[in-house]
Structure 1
Amino acid sequence: MSQLTLNLALGIVSGVLTAALLYFAAVFFRKVIIPWYLELVYRGVDLSGKWTNKIELPEGLTQTLIGNIRQSAHRLSGEITLSKNRNGEEPRLVHLVAQGEVRDRLVTLRITSKEPKRISLCVILLEVFGSGDKMRGFSAWYDTGPGEIAGTEVEWNREKA
């Protein structure tokens, strides 16, 4: 093997290893260091926990949402179970995913279905009240029944631990 071939192979290998090392360092910084720092300096309200919301809609439809919210600095995420009940019938359950943030007592949530084949979107804007155990605001969603966008005022309450 000639000296030129050896130098070329070493250059390629060291370039690939350096690129891989820089990539993993950037991922580590973005996924570990930045969230840790944001959590360290965040001084806002802690909204993590179990939250419930009940909506009475026309034609005897009751929707109850129970959400387990996690918080990392100003970012919110979690799972929500929607129970739809019409006139005492057996409730129908829908499992949803929530992503959002909190800024200056204002909460925004974007809720979608866990099932990729299901059309589902809900956007919520809430204001945190009192000691942080109540949020009030407005919810707008796509209603697949009539195929239109609907909305209503909502109130979310945190369950006591």
Structure 2
Amino acid sequence: MEAVLNMMIGVFTGVITTVLLYLTKLIIDKILLPWYQNLTYRGIDVSGVWEGEFSSSDTANFTAKLTLDQSAHNLSGSYIVIKYINGEEQKITSMSVSGEVWEGFVSLKCRTISNKNLSFGSMLLKINDSELNGHKVFRNLAGNGSGIVNRPIILKRTEGNA
């Protein structure tokens, strides 16, 4: 009976130790490390709202809105594109973005929020005074959806976020 009790105590303390180690790791990864990175980060701040327009043909025009949240060099946020054909709104695509700032560039990975209209892509943008200038590469949803579309894009910081 004593051996079973000792074994149960050992298992219980092992489980408690595992839980405490896991919670310690979460606290370090989710609280302490981001706090320290924000404290020591001396790079550019690209957080805020960025907007721009681009076209893919004579009839199709797009407006884009990129909202970025920044924690040191890590970025997260949303990217919303509205498609217009002959001036009429046709489609709104909402994407989540994640990425980073590194040596004057913003690198973003984008993925649609809805599972009804799947798309994904990447953006590489050079940081200039009040604009992000670069290219976006996305999976083309038109036709069979197998093409890759490369488009130049310029996004300007909106008022109040300078």
When normalised by structure 1's length, the TM-score is 0.92
Residue matched to 2:42: 43
Structure 1: distance between partners of 2:58 and 2:120: 22
Structure 1: distance between partners of 2:69 and 2:9: 47
Aligned mate of 1:139, from 124, 128, 136 = 136
Residue matched to 2:72: 73
SS in 2 for 1:43: coil
Q: Give the alignment of 1:1-161 within 5 angstroms.
A: 2-130=1-129, 133-146=130-143, 147=145, 148-161=147-160
The letter of the residue matching 2:74 is R
Structure 2: distance between partners of 1:142 and 1:70: 25
Deviation at 1:117, TM superposition (A): 4.0
Deviation at 1:91, TM superposition (A): 3.8
Q: Could you list the runs of 5+ residues in structure 2 that have no partner in the other structure?
A: none
Aligned residues: 158
Structure 1: distance between partners of 2:12 and 2:121: 49
Cα deviation, 1:43-65, whole Å, max 9, x if unaligned, reads 10001101112112213111111
Structure 2: distance between partners of 1:3 and 1:110: 57
SS in 1 for 2:34: helix
The letter of the residue matching 2:79 is I
Structure 1: distance between partners of 2:68 and 2:114: 19
Q: Could you list the runs of 5+ residues in structure 1 that have no partner in the other structure?
A: none
Deviation at 1:72, TM superposition (A): 0.6
Deviation at 1:86, TM superposition (A): 0.4
Is the contact made by 2:82 and 2:89 (CA closer than 8 Å) also made in structure 1? no
Cα deviation, 1:15-61, whole Å, max 9, x if unaligned, reads 11111111111111111111111111111000110111211221311
When normalised by structure 2's length, the TM-score is 0.91
SS in 2 for 1:90: strand
Structure 2: distance between partners of 1:122 and 1:5: 57
SS in 1 for 2:39: helix
Deviation at 1:106, TM superposition (A): 0.8
Q: Percent identity?
A: 30
SS in 1 for 2:132: strand
Structure 2: distance between partners of 1:90 and 1:145: 16
